[in-house]
Amino acid sequence: MAPVVEELQALRGVSLIVAPLMGVYVGDSQRFDNLRRLTAHLRLVPPEHESGAKRRQGAITKAARPLARRMLIAVA
């Protein structure tokens, strides 16, 4: 489980406390090619709006997986 925890800590805001919880939730991280696919699976990717040189990111939507969302909100 240690490699999964280390990989999850690469996500912004995921610390040593959150990573093991998400590791249990995600399971085998080898089924995801990259970090982008993992965040897409958890539905934690916020909406983005780009116009020219400006880029704005929205908040995590309520479409996120409920358990993952609750974990991240609880530790925030």
Beta strands at 54-57 and 48-51: parallel, antiparallel or unpaired: antiparallel
Please report the sign of the dihedral spanned by the C-alpha atoms of residue 18, residue 14, residue 22, residue 47.
Answer: positive
Percent of the chain with pLDDT over 70: 86
Q: Distances in Å between the alpha carbon of 1 and those of 17, 23, 56, 66?
A: 14, 7, 35, 23
Please compute the mean of the pLDDT values over residues 18-39 and round it to a whole number. 77
pLDDT score for 34: 78
Residue 51 in this model has a pLDDT that exceeds 80: yes
pTM recorded for the entire structure = 0.49
pLDDT band at 41 (very low <50, low <70, confident <90, very high): confident
Give CA–CA dist 48/58, Å, rounded.
6
Query: How crowded is the C-beta side of 63, counted as CA atoms within 13 Å?
Result: 10
Round the average pLDDT of the chain to a whole number and report it.
Answer: 76
Q: For the chain, which residues make up each domain, given as ranges?
A: 2-75
pLDDT score for 4: 75
